[in-house]
A = this chain, B = another copy of it.
């Protein structure tokens, strides 16, 4: 940590900060500039609380040198693969997860599962518990939906990914899901993160709509610090001033995450776009930028889907998407 003191303060204040650093077992180096004191901290600065230092009298600002996360950090290991029923997420092969936004009934889910499997998807997505902006909107089938997933998995062999919204449901969801999804709205629901951390099931962690990359990785760290290293990160668009798309896909998050963490990174082009006309282009871009896979919304008749119909692909469009990303995958030395 680098600590910049206010200009013109007495040296005593800088010495107090030095004292605080020593108390934490670290070594301060005091630099007397022409206008200010600057203090550099030698050692594992994560032992210091940056906010406590900032609160001290005479401190103008601070800068962390080390990443605030340890387990998720690239400094820890170069890359990791999350294995789910034989699928290896983070390897050469891209992992495509597809399915309806909300689960509706077994028959239509089976139809979707077969169609996406045929097109090359290796996992089925589908929401049983749905976070909806309005209390009056369809909230999902609940455990009935989870049972549908179980049956479809039995029939198709596709592992399933589904979202959990509530600490009280983690055990139930973990029983049915191969991957537990934490949605964007819950990225900083720390109690939920701890609870899924305890399950040791693979977790698909979506980035919050205005989370910085560091906050995103700190949320992964929450799960990992409970002893669950099986975290898959998912970029799904951030909030911006422009309303042409529902969210703005942060395509640079992919290379940035690849630089900072060893965890696999997938992309959700459906929620980012919010409009099916743009989903294929975003999917291609994601793979080209280095993503390890995609999670895509598919429905036989999007306009009849119980949620998110406007961004959902029908079967012909999903087939087109798969054909296109196969080409891109090859171009970047990956495969599907």
Contact = CB atoms under 8 A, between A and B. Distances in A.
Interface in A298-314: 302-305, 307-310, 312
B33 A43 contact: yes
A255 B281 contact: yes
Given A55-B309, A284-B332, A289-B285, A225 B66 contact: no
Contact of A167 (B32, B168, B288): B168
Contacts of A242: 212-213, 238, 250
A305 to B, nearest CB: 7
Interface stretch (A79-87, A88-96, A126-134): A126-134
Given A189-B186, A309-B54, A7 B40 contact: no
Contact of A166 (B2, B191, B272): B191
A51 B308 CA distance: 6
Given A212-B242, A256-B245, A290-B281, A310 B55 contact: yes
21 contacts: A2-B40, A29-B31, A34-B44, A35-B75, A36-B66, A132-B190, A134-B221, A135-B221, A136-B225, A166-B167, A168-B191, A185-B189, A186-B189, A240-B241, A240-B250, A243-B243, A245-B256, A284-B332, A324-B331, A328-B331, A331-B331
A311 B328 CA distance: 25
A255 B278 contact: yes
Contacts of A131: 188, 190
Q: Which 10 A-B pairs have the closest CB atoms?
A: A55-B309, A288-B288, A210-B210, A327-B331, A255-B281, A285-B285, A54-B310, A166-B191, A284-B288, A185-B188
Contacts of A272: 252
Nearest to A34: B43
Interface string A22-39: 000000010111111010
A105 to B, nearest CB: 17
Nearest to A248: B250
A241 to B, nearest CB: 5
